[in-house]
Amino acid sequence: MGNIQLFGFALIMTASSGSLAAEDFKPPRLDFGVPDLQGIWNYQNRTSLERPAIYEGELEIDQATMLDKMVSTPDYIAALEATGAEAPGPHNVGGYNGFWITPGDALAYMNGKFRTSLIVEPEDGRIPWREEGEAVRRAQRYILPMGRGESDGPEGRTLSDRCLLSFSSTAPFMSSLYNNNLQIVQSPTHVMLLAEMVHSARIVRMDQGFRDLPYEQWLGDSVGYYEEDTLVVETVNFHPWQVGKERLTSAHMKLTERFTRVEDNKLHYSFTIDDPSLYSQPWTAEFPMYSGENLYEYACHEGNYSMRAILAGARTMEVNPSAPGQ
């Protein structure tokens, strides 16, 4: 991933102060004795999942180094020179403009340093693909930009087209174009993790085992427990149809997430993905979450005119095979 994606709008950011957590910080506790993680937490940041080549061997950098790298790399200069009148247009302009996109204006900032990647293990900050997983990823990278071709039913469209899952609504949480907010609600027996994106909710059963289900679930089967002041959530039994630009999901994946309140207004979030069918080893990423304000209604089906038009067109061609487009 290029440095333009990693550092877009970084010049206008302001760095958070303080370290990840004060050594003597004690999180507030709920009536039933566990650390209070409840509330709305924002996890937007502009650090890429994988480490760009210009930061090989560097997990953390200071602000001066980050700015120097940003303005001195050939990629940055080339991008500026390509904005002239003769510059070619993008392959796919998409369906959004800047008004709707709020991915944040700062890099992930932990322990007084900016992070060059969310991945901290392996040490190179890269996803450790197996050869088989890399082949699947290459195929998906071809399909996603080119489109999925003709669709005569909703099953042929992506999960985001169908308003089922989208961007950061899947597990694990990762910063995306917008709606990067999470609400946590705790009870003695369950924890709810509600993503603002598509309002997808995971219900975590505390101190219980995984269920023996005859089917996969979009967000998997989640169980949880506390390790001192950290909420640990383990999830298995994912439906394998989830496809993203940076990672893949299979029915063999196990996700382990950790939520730790390190300041009054900050959580430390990490996740580890273990899937031997796709990756040569487990890999771990981490970033901070900060206190948010509100969750807003996520309306998707209500404005999903493209899906309606796709299905209506297919039904028309079934009735009249000579209709335009057949």
What b/e string do you get for 275-304 counting C-beta neighbours within 10 Å, with b at 16 or more? beebbeeebbbbbbbeebeeeeebebeeee
The strands making up 60-61's β-sheet, listed across from edge to edge, are: 60-61, 113-115, 109-110
User: Which of 101-105, 129-133, 198-202, 309-313 has the lowest average pLDDT?
Assistant: 101-105
pLDDT tier for residue 188 given thresholds of 50, 70 and 90: very high
Tens digit of each residue's pLDDT (9 = 90 or more) over 202-250: 999 999 999 999 989 989 999 999 999 999 999 999 988 765 556 788 8
Asked if residue 194 has pLDDT above 50, the reply is: yes
Mean pLDDT of the chain: 82
Tens digit of each residue's pLDDT (9 = 90 or more) over 134-170: 888 777 665 554 455 566 677 777 777 788 887 666 7
Closest CA to 236 of 249, 253, 259: 253
Q: What is the mean pLDDT of residues 268-293?
A: 96
CA dist 196 and 296 (Å) reads 7
CA dist 153 and 174 (Å) reads 30
pTM: 0.82
Cα 220–chain centre separation:
16
Alpha helices in the chain (DSSP H): 3-7, 63-72, 74-81, 131-146, 305-319
CA dist 229 and 51 (Å) reads 30
Give the gyration radius of the chain's Cα atoms. 21
Asked if residue 18 has pLDDT above 60, the reply is: no
Please answer whether residues 165 and 300 qualify as being in contact, where contact means their C-beta atoms are separated by less than 8 angstroms: no
Between 30 and 79, name the one with better pLDDT: 30
CA dist 281 and 126 (Å) reads 11
Domains of the chain in start order, with CATH, are 38-50+118-303 (2.40.128.20)
Between 250 and 117, name the one with better pLDDT: 117
Q: How big is the CA angle at 168 (ends 167 and 172), to the nearest 5 degrees?
A: 125
pLDDT tier for residue 12 given thresholds of 50, 70 and 90: very low
Please answer whether residues 31 and 128 qualify as being in contact, where contact means their C-beta atoms are separated by less than 8 angstroms: no
pLDDT tier for residue 317 given thresholds of 50, 70 and 90: confident
